[in-house]
Structure 1
Amino acid sequence: MSADRISRRVFAGGIAALALARRAAAQGYAGLGETADGFARVAPGKLFTFPADHGPHPEFRIEWWYLTANLVDRSGAACGLQWTLFRQATQPGPQGEGWANQQLWMGHAAVTRADTHRFGELFSRGGVGQAGVTARPFAAWIDDWEIKGSEQTDDRTLSPLTLKASGTDFSYALTLEADRPVVLQGDGGFSRKSERGQASYYYSQPFFRARGTFTIDDKPVDVTGQAWMDREWSSQPLDADQTGWDWLSLHLASGDKLMLYRLRQKDGRHYPFGNWINADGRTQMIAGNDIQMTPKATAEVAGRKLPLEWQIAIPSRSFSIVCKPLNAKAWMGTGFSYWEGPISFVGTHDGVGYLELTGY
């Protein structure tokens, strides 16, 4: 690698870290409650079009391509992985050329087993090709981390794809396949985040079947399982008084899927929301007053007390489960730190999923 390449990477990472740190000190978790004057607004009634909406939306301030996978190796031991690409604009307006581009890119990758959690982080400035997303053939990358399609990738299912990432002490490479279309979250893809109008555009592919190789400390194992990819973009997804969120993606043994979150507010009146996704891909919103998310046990992680065991109930569906983490130490000590890790659950329904906790 050339000295020029190294210096530009360091420069890009430094600029990105500085800008993101400034936003972290702003309103709400990671500055997501900051006002977004000049950026595009999220409104109900959007008509989603694919493959275009698989690609970037630079007129909005922030978006992400977010994948988690619940896996098992040949012995049946559980493990999980995360791959995330974030885009954030430092200012609205026409896109600058090259190093003057106002888009910042950040990648997170992690692997989790019961006995260990490893993660990595990458930064890039937009406009120089080091990171980006294309809609067709679909590809999202930062350095050599990538989710990639081909001419055979179906725009409706966003499948098949290949996925890879690596850190100093871990790596993974998977193939992802799905036979059902992506699903729109919220009200036709309009995902309300507060009673004051904050919202995002949000869709998911929760039906990925995953297979490939999972490596920790140069010891590869073959793995199979289920993966869930989320796509969201917005310009102000949180209100200023919302401090973070507790989010779950659940793969039920029945084949149904469930997405739940509660946005925590300073006054204690947390804002819950959910979508039930039937095994055939049909979705139904779950009213906030029908969602009970109750922390049952906490653990001390990275100097923070985190609610890692949850009682989840949806009375209208006679749904009641208890979730527990595979590894309580699944802390992402990245520029914006948070907890993200695989979980399992039992009760009226059994299965596996992922839990994310931010703002603690």
Structure 2
Amino acid sequence: MTSTKGFRARPRFRRLAALVLGTAASLALSAVHAPVASAATPPVVLPADESAHPDAGMEWWYFTGHLTGKDVFGKSHSYGFETMVVRNDGLDTAPTGVIYNVNMSVTDLTRGTFKQNRDIYSIQNDQTPAGGGFSFDVGGVHMDGKNGVNHIWGGFPDLSYVYSGLTLKQSTPAALHGGPSGVIPYGPFGESAYYSQTNLDVSGKLFDHGLLVNVTGKAWMDHQWGNWNPGKGGWEWFSIQLSNNTQYMLYFIRDENHNYVQTVGTLINPDGSTVNLPASQLSETALGSWTSPHTGIVYPQNWKVNVPGGTLTVTSQFPDQEVYSDIVTVGSYWEGTTTVSGTINGQAVTGQAYAEVIPFIAMPGHGYVWEQVGDLLGL
């Protein structure tokens, strides 16, 4: 049975919402209005769907990965990293006046530290680069991609970690989730278009507190968009990369009472072909928990994951990988680098993964109601 532990505290949980930068103050974006009828999500068509979707209320391009390298003095370094751009049609004005947010974190396994940015937003017009793909500049971070070749530049405002050009290349086809259409169900929340580049080779330069580290590694990119039905819920999500050159995307979606209402899974074979996994053959069980000293939230930590043909253990490499914010309507979630071990079809496997725990989220619909603006501006 699918199960989880924790979530005893509920301070301001992250809602994957956006923030408008006004002329004098920052406005927080919160929950949604009543459902808006819309046509079924069209099938994903690549490369055209690499670009932004003006008809989507929420959309994100999400890179996570694992890097190793040596600095100029020959010392070895190891990192987990996450860099995401979220596009949000919070004002229902797309393709103009669209809210973009960049989120970035680095788990420095050599130092034993976790670093994240804080709420960097801007209002931009949707733009598609000549020839397609995506290209964003938000909060000192540049991200672009086309046909499975991606680049990330920039870093934290305090220059503690700065990418001086990461190149992330996918040699196999992108994985469409939910079957050949690339559309996944979200239980009562509707559906979403969703594909991933699951086996990205990474190379480039990272400045670690001013020290140049030449890095290589493996990464994963998620591109997801849609107009969800409003509601409250959460999920656990795993991007698993195994030593036998297979990958798994696993998505366990909960309602506001922590009942699992949808499970989605994809097996990606070494040649890039995919298998849409039956929900009845997927489960995850938390093996422990971690209490955040920052927010008091109790997160599940370390998991036993059952997939067709085997069982995997996903183990956090560093407990404190909580992404949190001080903005009034933005809460917290856990996004962390992990190791993997287990057995698939009688063969021992190892690997690495990123795990995401969203304790609670107000699912975004298309067109938002602006709430708590008065709390911020006294209106």
Describe how 1:77-156 pairs up with structure 2 within 5 A: 77-92=77-92, 95-96=95-96, 101=97, 103-114=98-109, 115-120=112-117, 121-127=119-125, 134=129, 136=132, 138-149=134-145, 153=146, 155=147
Residue from 64, 68, 76 that aligns with 1:68: 64
Calculate the TM-score normalised by the size of structure 1: 0.80
SS at match of 1:146: strand
Q: Say if 2:283 is the partner of 1:292.
A: yes
Q: Say if 2:184 is the partner of 1:191.
A: yes
Tell me the equivalent position of 1:253: 243
Tell me the equivalent position of 1:6: none
Where does structure 2 lack aligned partners over 5 or more consecutive residues?
A: 1-19, 344-348, 361-379
Structure 1 vs Structure 2 CA RMSD: 2.4
Structure 1 CA distance, aligned partners of 2:352 and 2:63?
Answer: 15
Would you tell me which structure has more helix in proportion to its own residues? 1
Greater relative contact order (Cα < 8 A, sep 6+): 2
Structure 1 CA distance, aligned partners of 2:24 and 2:194?
Answer: 28
Q: Spell out structure 1 runs of 4+ moving beyond 6 A.
A: none
Q: Say if 2:279 is the partner of 1:282.
A: no
SS at match of 2:207: strand
SS at match of 1:104: strand
Percent identity of the aligned residues?
Answer: 23
SS at match of 1:350: strand
Describe how 1:1-360 pairs up with structure 2 within 5 A: 11=22, 14-15=25-26, 17-18=27-28, 20=29, 23=30, 26=31, 35-37=34-36, 40-43=38-41, 46-74=42-70, 77-92=77-92, 95-96=95-96, 101=97, 103-114=98-109, 115-120=112-117, 121-127=119-125, 134=129, 136=132, 138-149=134-145, 153=146, 155=147, 158-159=148-149, 161-167=150-156, 168=158, 169-172=160-163, 173-187=165-179, 188-194=181-187, 196=188, 198-236=190-228, 240=231, 242-270=232-260, 271-301=262-292, 302=294, 303-314=296-307, 316-317=308-309, 319-334=310-325, 335-348=330-343, 349-359=349-359
Amino acid at match of 2:123: R
Amino acid at match of 2:277: I
SS at match of 2:301: strand
Q: Is the 8 A contact 1:81 1:110 kept in 2?
A: yes
Where does structure 1 lack aligned partners over 5 or more consecutive residues?
A: 1-8
Shift of 1:91: 4.0
Calculate the TM-score normalised by the size of structure 2: 0.77
| Cα gap change, 1:296 to 1:94, in 2 (>3 Å) | closer
Tell me the number of residue pairs that the alignment of Structure 1 and Structure 2 aligns: 317
SS at match of 2:280: helix
Shift of 1:132: 5.7
Tell which deviates more after alignment, 196-205 or 86-95.
Answer: 86-95
| Cα gap change, 1:344 to 1:50, in 2 (>3 Å) | same
Q: Is the 8 A contact 2:64 2:80 kept in 1?
A: yes
Shift of 1:244: 0.9
